[in-house]
Amino acid sequence: MREDYGLTQDQIDIQMMTREFIRKELPWERIKECDEKNETPMDVVKKCAEMGLTSITLPESIGGGGMGQVTNSLVLEEIGYQDIGFATVIGACGLAYEPIALFGTQEQKEMFGKYIVDGGLAAFALTEADAGSDVSNNRTTAVLDGDEWVINGTKTFITNGGNASVYSVFAVTDPNAGTRGMSCFIVERDRAGVSIGSEEDKMGIRLSNTTEVLFDNVRIPAGHLVGKEGQGFKIAMSVFDITRPAGVGAASCGSMKSCIDKCLEYAAVRQTFGQPILTNQAIQFMIADMEIKYEAARALTYKVAGMIDNGVIDSALASAAKTFASDSAVECAIDAIQIYGGNGYSKEYPIEIILRNAKIGQLFEGTNQVQRMVIVKSLLKASGMM
């Protein structure tokens, strides 16, 4: 992997450290075992937390790494190289903390961040059964009762849902205000009324725990409101402008690079008609196209991550990075299966897991169809047509 994005030596060191660590601690055999069991390898999660990988973007003042989104992308790309599902577990901590980082008070940052810094997991609780890409259709409610908020509702498809110690929860505080009627709250796992519902038996990212999270008359202090009442939709969209490229995009890039490396290795030893299939120009062209997509996706992902670190937020570019990287990751995995032939379709080899994992990038944090709507809307605004 060429280091041509103006990385500092510290960033390169973190990248190499993560690469060495994750390939040692999460080898293919362990990934296969956890995938079959639909199980998060919590021993590896603990080691990641001890290394500071779950808190890499949290401020140094509260014990975090104090790193930006370029560094975060490097970490998640390396983890995604091994398994996008596990990258989702680690990346979800930053996703959950981001609402507090952007809109929370210093007290909230310290309180929420302590859970992560101390080795716990965090979860971002936005999605509901009828509110996926259309988050304005949320039905979970928060009602102010004296100096407490009372939360009721069910969240679905929550990454780290069953393993998290703390949640950033989005709930409706004014049902008549549309997207301006949703707010964001900090909810600890041990609050009375918080429980875990069913765990998803997923097609892919099976190393990540994905569950329902239920809130039954959960009481939290009024001070657990993040930002202002009614800012929930704005907070969620602001978070996604950061995590779509630096989370989904980066992990997808790692998946692509994994496909390329595995295909080169396999094609060099797999023989047909008396010679390695790597000598076949058709195979060479497929791998070359995978490399083109990888380099293009990576360039866009790191461009946007660098912009974020410099205080420039561009929703359309964030959507473009997420969409191109995740679409390309699926395309690369499909081509990798073709190169492996029947072996690519077998569970004895890692490629079918890579494909199942890659698909999620086209779905979560807004489907890629929604991302295209965001991009066109931006183009219309820029042209004065909207």
Q: Give the Å distances, CA to CA, from 16 to 74, 255, 282.
A: 9, 17, 33
Candidates 77, 200, 352, 365; catalytic one:
365
Nearest to 15 by CA among 102, 77, 88: 77
CA 18 and chain centroid, separation: 17
Token pair recorded at residue 169: 């929860």
CA distance 321 to 348: 32
Contacts of 210 (CB under 8 A, 6+ apart): 157, 158, 159, 161, 199, 200, 202
Let me know: does 173 contact 138? Beta carbons within 8 Å: no
Token pair recorded at residue 225: 């409101």
Nearest to 72 by CA among 48, 56, 85: 56
CA distance 135 to 236: 9
Q: Is 365 known to be catalytic?
A: yes
Task: Return the ∠ at Cα 228 (arms to 222 and 233), rounded to 5°.
Answer: 115
Residues with catalytic function? 365
